[in-house]
Amino acid sequence: MRFSTTLLLVCLLTGSQANAQFSQAYRDSIRALSEADYKQMLDQLGIDPSEMRHGPSGNPSDPNAANTDESKAKTYEMLPDALVFNNGDTVRSATEWLTLRRAEIVELFDREIYGRVPDNVPDVTWEILSVLDTVDGPYPVIIKHLVGHVDNSGFPEISVDIDLVIGTPAHSKKAVPVITEFGFNWTAAQLARFRSRQPEGPTWKQQLLARGWGYAVLVPVSIQADNGAGIAQGIIGLANKGETRTPGEWGVLRAWAWGASRAIDYYETDPDVDASRLGIEGLSRYGKAAIVAMAYEPRFAIAFIGTSGAGGTKLLRRNLGEQVENLASSGEYHWFAGNFIKYAGPLTKNDLPVDAHQLVALCAPRPVFISSGAPDVEGQWVDAKGMFLGGMHAGSVYKLLGKNDIGANQFPAQETALTDGEIAFRQHEGGHTTGPNWPYFIRYASRYFEK
Splitting the chain (451 residues) into consecutive groups of 10 residues, what average pLDDT does each group show? 30 42 88 98 98 97 97 95 99 99 99 98 99 98 99 99 99 98 83 70 97 99 98 98 98 99 99 99 99 99 99 99 99 99 98 99 99 94 98 99 99 99 98 98 98 80
The domain of 306 spans 111-449
- Residue 192 confidence (pLDDT): 72
- Residue 2 confidence (pLDDT): 30
Neighbours of 115 (CB within 10 A): 27
- Longest CA–CA span in the chain (Å) reads 63
Q: How many domains does the chain have?
A: 1
Beta bridge partners of 395: none
The domain spanning residue 389 has which CATH number? 3.40.50.1820
Indicate the pTM of the whole model.
0.94
Task: For residue 10, tell me if it sits in a domain.
Answer: no
Task: For residue 100, tell me if it sits in a domain.
Answer: no
Q: Classify each residue of 144-173 as buried b or exposed e, where b means 16 or more C-beta atoms within 10 Å of its C-beta.
A: bbbebebeeeebeebebebbbbbbbbbebe
Task: For residue 98, tell me if it sits in a domain.
Answer: no
Task: For residue 13, tell me if it sits in a domain.
Answer: no
Neighbours of 90 (CB within 10 A): 10
Alpha-carbon gap, residue 247 to 258, rounded angstroms: 18
Beta bridge partners of 180: 216, 280
**Alpha helices in 52-200, H assignment, sequence order:** 94-96, 102-108, 188-196
User: What does the chain come to in residues?
Assistant: 451
Q: What is the 3-state secondary structure (H, E, C) of 214-251?
A: EEEEECHHHCCCCCHHHCCCHHHHHHCCCCCCCCCECC
Alpha-carbon gap, residue 207 to 117, rounded angstroms: 35
- Residue 408 confidence (pLDDT): 99
Neighbours of 313 (CB within 10 A): 32
Task: For residue 259, tell me if it sits in a domain.
Answer: yes
- Residue 22 confidence (pLDDT): 75
Alpha-carbon gap, residue 235 to 120, rounded angstroms: 11
Residue 211 in contact with residue 442, Cβ under 8 Å? yes
Task: For residue 36, tell me if it sits in a domain.
Answer: no
Task: For residue 219, tell me if it sits in a domain.
Answer: yes
- Residue 21 confidence (pLDDT): 60
Alpha-carbon gap, residue 10 to 2, rounded angstroms: 15
- Residue 316 confidence (pLDDT): 99
Task: For residue 408, tell me if it sits in a domain.
Answer: yes
